[in-house]
Copies of this chain bind each other. A is one copy, B any other.
Amino acid sequence: MKRNAKVSTAVIRRLPRYYRQLSELQQAGVVRISSSALGKSMGLTASQIRQDLFCFGEFGQQGYGYKVENLKEEIGEILGIGRGHTLIVLGTGNLGRAIIRNFKFSSNGFRLLAAFDVDRAVVGSRVAGVPVYHIDGLEEFLSAHPVSVGLLAVPIAAAQEMGERLVKAGVRGIWNFTNCEISFRRPDVVVESVHFSDSLLALSYMISQQERQDAAGEKEEL
């Protein structure tokens, strides 16, 4: 498979959506799909889809569409599902617990190894089967277990420090749920932040636009 060295962020952001959509199509029993039908189900044009997938090589056949299972597997491979990635969670407050309990790590190719906390009341217990260790044991754990991603669900005040401990101990992927910006000046470390406020503000923009249109419509009617 061809891999272009430089793929745009926008395309990378769409790949997981393709993967999710193709998984749903596969579960619904769809064997083959045209780029226009796939695009329609995702709110994209057929040419956008062809362009996106062309970044990674030749998929599908002119006039025959894509084989759902093959395309899903190819995209899964590009995304790194199946590379045996591992993950630990720092912070077992409400958010950490919610993610440990409900998020399907294995469907995304990750094995959740352990959680860490400072609270002696939870250290030694298990959350949904996952052992909770004291944060003091973080470095020892990391020296014994290769960990691809550290999920930060700690209080804002601890975010940067905990991130630095992970990076120093060799973790290269940080999945940041703290709603604050963290950075490490390390080109080999990737930080992916889930900013709830960016999502709410995008929604706020969209409903505000509708309110403005409604108001303009009512004015015209008068």
Q: How far is the CB of A4 from chain B (nearest CB, A)?
A: 11
Chain A interface helix/strand/loop/mixed: helix
Chain B residues with CB under 8 Å of A17's CB are: 195, 198
Task: List A residues 1-45 near B (Cβ within 8 Å).
Answer: 3, 10, 12-13, 15-17, 19-20, 24
Chain B residues with CB under 8 Å of A85's CB are: 204, 207-208
How far, in whole Å, are A98 and B93 apart by their CA atoms in the complex?
8
State the A residues within 8 Å of B (CB).
3, 10, 12-13, 15-17, 19-20, 24, 78-81, 83, 85, 93-95, 97-99, 101-104, 107-110, 148-149, 172-173, 175, 179, 181, 188, 190, 192, 194-208, 210-212
Chain B residues with CB under 8 Å of A3's CB are: 212
Chain B residues with CB under 8 Å of A200's CB are: 108, 110, 149, 175, 192
Number of this chain's copies in the complex: 2
Question: What are 12 A-B residue pairs whose CB atoms fall within 8 Å in the complex?
Answer: A10-B10, A15-B205, A80-B201, A85-B204, A102-B179, A108-B200, A108-B201, A149-B203, A149-B207, A172-B210, A173-B204, A175-B203
B192 touches A175 (CB 8 A): no
A192 touches B197 (CB 8 A): no
B199 touches A79 (CB 8 A): no
- Given A13-B202, A16-B201, A103-B196, 13 additional A-B pairs, CB 8 A: A3-B212, A10-B10, A15-B205, A17-B195, A24-B181, A78-B205, A79-B208, A85-B207, A94-B98, A103-B197, A190-B206, A192-B199, A194-B196
